[in-house]
Amino acid sequence: ALVSAKEMLTKAKQGKYAVGQFNINNLEWTKAILLTAEEMKSPVILGVSEGAGKYMCGYKTVVGMVNGMLEELKITVPVALHLDHGSYDGALACIEAGFSSVMFDGSHYPIEENIKKTKELVSICNSKGLSIEAEVGSIGGEEDGVVGAGECADPNECKAIADLGVTMLAAGIGNIHGKYPENWPGLSFETLDAVQQKTGDMPLVLHGGTGIPEDMIKKAISLGVAKINVNTECQLAFQEATRKYIEEGKDLSGKGFDPRKLLAPGFEAIKATVKEKMELFGSVGKA
């Protein structure tokens, strides 16, 4: 059964590793991530953006698919199903549909409004045993229509949000969704350090995990990051493998047009990407 992300993230923060959040889009994505987590004996968080939720017909379909897979693939590692960058209404809908975790991204509101809305959702999630992520500062770039300016979080605002009783906190530290530009100055470890000083045991979340150099990932984990979100990297791996299969003409030969064959290379590419990230984040064997 699905679990809240609280226990896996508390353990990760204490053990100085991070749990990966991998965003899902369809059956192949979900199956690839769950099978890899099971093979790696790693806890995992399945991320669903509001756009991806709509694409998959709605949150109830997502919950049904994921619960079915947990049972039929015999998944034993801890799995949380988490709304990514949710609105207030989106969070309520996911709670209702059976998600085990939600993110309320109130980072575009004035801080008072972010605090007010986060507080309301914290009390609902607490009463149901669900985990909740909040965001302060903003993640640069765009993901599924959610656009961020990329300004670094104010550590005092982070403390104010952390004190509401959220499970995990995403702080903008110069991270960006999607590919990083050539002239990206890197993560602001000064900000991260200051946020961790103010928020103590709070598991911190690093968004925009695609393309962050390994040494920065490791340093971020050493400074309190316990959850790292990866989305674009799986998409790039999937498209590259699928493109190669088609360009080699394999879709034209034999039964290569069979969707189960056509989607197989992309599926394997997602598995390889997720495995690599779990190794880098240190979550292998931690289930």
* 178 carries a ligand binding annotation: yes
Q: Least separation, in Å, of the C-beta of 70 and ligand G3H?
A: 22
Three-state SS for 135? strand
For residue 114, state whether it binds ligand G3H (rule: CB under 6 A).
no
Kindly state the DSSP code that residue 4 receives in the 8-state scheme: -
CB 101 within 8 A of CB 90: no
Residue 68 φ/ψ, nearest 5 degrees: -60, -45
Please identify, using beta-carbon distances, which residue of 38 and 135 lies nearer to ligand G3H.
Answer: 135
Please identify, using beta-carbon distances, which residue of 209 and 224 lies nearer to Zn ion.
Answer: 209
Task: Name beta bridge partners: 83.
Answer: 48, 102
Identified binder of ligand G3H from the candidate list 20, 43, 106, 209, rule CB under 6 A: 209
**Tokens representing 217?**
């990932």
Choose the stretch contacting ligand G3H; rule: CB under 6 A; options: 35-43, 121-129, 230-238, 250-258: 230-238
Q: How far apart are CA 238 and CA 14, in angstroms?
A: 33
Chain residue whose CB lies nearest Zn ion: 207
* 23 carries a ligand binding annotation: no
Residue 191 near which of Zn ion, ligand G3H, none (CB within 5-8 Å, type-dependent)? none
Identified binder of Zn ion from the candidate list 13, 207, 227, 286, rule CB under 5 A: 207
Residue 172 φ/ψ, nearest 5 degrees: -70, 125
For residue 230, state whether it binds ligand G3H (rule: CB under 6 A).
yes
**Tokens representing 103?**
């993110």
* 208 carries a ligand binding annotation: yes
Task: Name beta bridge partners: 104.
Answer: 86, 134
Identified binder of ligand G3H from the candidate list 51, 150, 165, 178, rule CB under 6 A: 178
**Tokens representing 126?**
């607490």
Identified binder of ligand G3H from the candidate list 25, 203, 233, 241, rule CB under 6 A: 233
Identified binder of ligand G3H from the candidate list 84, 133, 135, 154, rule CB under 6 A: 84
For residue 143, state whether it binds ligand G3H (rule: CB under 6 A).
yes
**Residue 84 designated active-site:** yes
**Tokens representing 169?**
């906190």
Kindly state the DSSP code that residue 176 receives in the 8-state scheme: B
For residue 6, state whether it binds Zn ion (rule: CB under 5 A).
no
One-letter amino acid of 23: N
Residue 178 near which of Zn ion, ligand G3H, none (CB within 5-8 Å, type-dependent)? ligand G3H
**Tokens representing 271?**
């598995």
Find, among 78, 84, 105, the residue nearest to 24 by Cα: 84
Burial 36-64 (b: 16+ CB within 10 A, else e): bbbebebbbbbbbbbebbeebeebeebbe
* 209 carries a ligand binding annotation: yes
Q: How far apart are CA 279 and CA 287, in angstroms?
A: 13
For residue 210, state whether it binds ligand G3H (rule: CB under 6 A).
yes
Q: Which of 84, 89, 154, 193 is catalytic?
A: 84
For 110, other C-beta atoms within 10 Å of its C-beta total: 9
Please identify, using beta-carbon distances, which residue of 78 and 208 lies nearer to ligand G3H.
Answer: 208
Binding site for Zn ion (CB under 5 A): 207
Positions marked active-site: 84
Binding site for ligand G3H (CB under 6 A): 23, 47, 84-85, 143, 177-178, 207-210, 229-233
User: What residue numbers does the annotated binding site cover?
Assistant: 85, 105, 135, 177-178, 207-210, 229-232
